[in-house]
């Protein structure tokens, strides 16, 4: 999943692709590099970012989605927590809603997803849940997703349309992020596909000493390998080419492991 931020203030690439033409060309280049999904966002979710109006968000993303729907067969995802933006994006040609609030922000979001049959990325977040957040990072994942999957079920969203995202870096400190990585295999008990978004995050910069977000692709690729080996299915990244190579290596290791297991049997 390639990140296509049509924003002036995203933490890594703000202002780089903030015109329709620039965003479309970047997205198509990502497809050439191996992206299967294009995640289009019109509002930065970095800490301290200034919220934009729904109209401004829609003005940024809808022309990009319409153009890409005509130019590529890649799946298109709309990165939004607003139900109306999601609805308009799906009408414009998007296939997936990527909700960083996991159906908690806008009560109408579940209805939009259910009515359209769209795919849904449901992300774990601690924002707005401080009072109920559990001290164990993995236990909090299960608590959050069990409740939000119930919301999705009640709205009529089919389970096979849902992917879960543990929300690395979202309302989590470094200890929680690394606990999730170290214990990622436990999340397979949720019995749902798992998407991860570690790309260029601050905790990678902390470990590697890379202050500039654009210098964190090697560190990102290391997390990509580790999380693929632990069971992640989809990787939301800025640098598609580097992470595709990392995934090829991880998948070769997994294939060798399966071959060994079959031979032992």
Is residue 236 flagged as an active site residue?
Answer: yes
Is residue 46 flagged as an active site residue?
Answer: no
**Residue 222 half-sphere exposure toward CB, CA atoms < 13 A:** 11
Residues 6+ apart with CB under 8 A from 49: 9, 43
Q: Angle between the 83-92 and 109-116 helix axes, to the nearest 10 degrees?
A: 20
CA-based torsion, 208, 40, 124, 253: positive or negative: negative
Q: Please report where in the chains the tokens 């939000």 appear, as a residue.
A: 148
Assign 39 to helix, strand or coil.
strand
Catalytic residue among 87, 201, 216, 228: 201
What does the alpha-carbon distance between residue 258 and residue 87 come to, in Å, rounded to a whole number?
42
Q: Please report where in the chains the tokens 């799946």 appear, as a residue.
A: 75
What does the alpha-carbon distance between residue 147 and residue 154 come to, in Å, rounded to a whole number?
11
Rg (CA), the chain: 18
Strand partners, 99: 122
Strand partners, 115: none
Q: Are 180 and 223 in contact (CB under 8 A)?
A: no
Strand pairing of 195-196 and 162-165?
Answer: unpaired
What does the alpha-carbon distance between residue 23 and residue 40 come to, in Å, rounded to a whole number?
9
Q: Please report where in the chains the tokens 């970012």 appear, as a residue.
A: 49
The residues that are catalytic are 201, 236
């Amino acid at each position: 999943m390639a990140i296509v931020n049509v924003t002036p203030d995203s933490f890594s690439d703000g202002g780089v692709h903030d015109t329709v033409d620039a965003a479309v060309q970047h997205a198509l280049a990502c497809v050439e590099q191996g992206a299967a999904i294009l995640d289009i966002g019109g509002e930065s979710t970095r800490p301290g970012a200034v919220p934009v109006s729904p109209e401004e968000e829609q003005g940024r993303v809808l022309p990009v989605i319409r153009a890409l729907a005509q130019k590529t067969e890649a799946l298109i995802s709309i990165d939004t927590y607003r139900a109306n933006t999601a609805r308009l994006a799906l009408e414009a040609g998007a296939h997936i809603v990527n909700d960083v609030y996991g159906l908690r922000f806008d009560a109408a979001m579940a209805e939009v997803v259910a009515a359209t049959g769209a795919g849904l990325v449901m992300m774990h977040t601690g924002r707005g849940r401080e009072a109920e957040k559990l001290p164990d990072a993995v236990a909090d994942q299960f608590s959050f997703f069990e409740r939000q999957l119930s919301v999705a079920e009640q709205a009529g969203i089919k389970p096979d349309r849902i992917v879960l995202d543990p929300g690395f870096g979202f309302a989590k400190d470094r200890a929680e992020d690394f606990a999730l990585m170290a214990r990622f295999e436990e999340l397979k008990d949720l019995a749902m596909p798992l998407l991860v978004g570690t790309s260029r995050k601050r905790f990678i910069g902390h470990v590697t000493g890379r202050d500039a977000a654009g210098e964190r692709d090697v560190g990102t690729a290391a997390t990509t390998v580790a999380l693929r080996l632990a069971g992640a299915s989809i990787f939301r990244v800025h640098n598609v080419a580097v992470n595709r190579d990392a995934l090829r290596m991880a998948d070769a290791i997994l294939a060798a492991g399966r071959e060994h297991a079959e031979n032992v049997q």
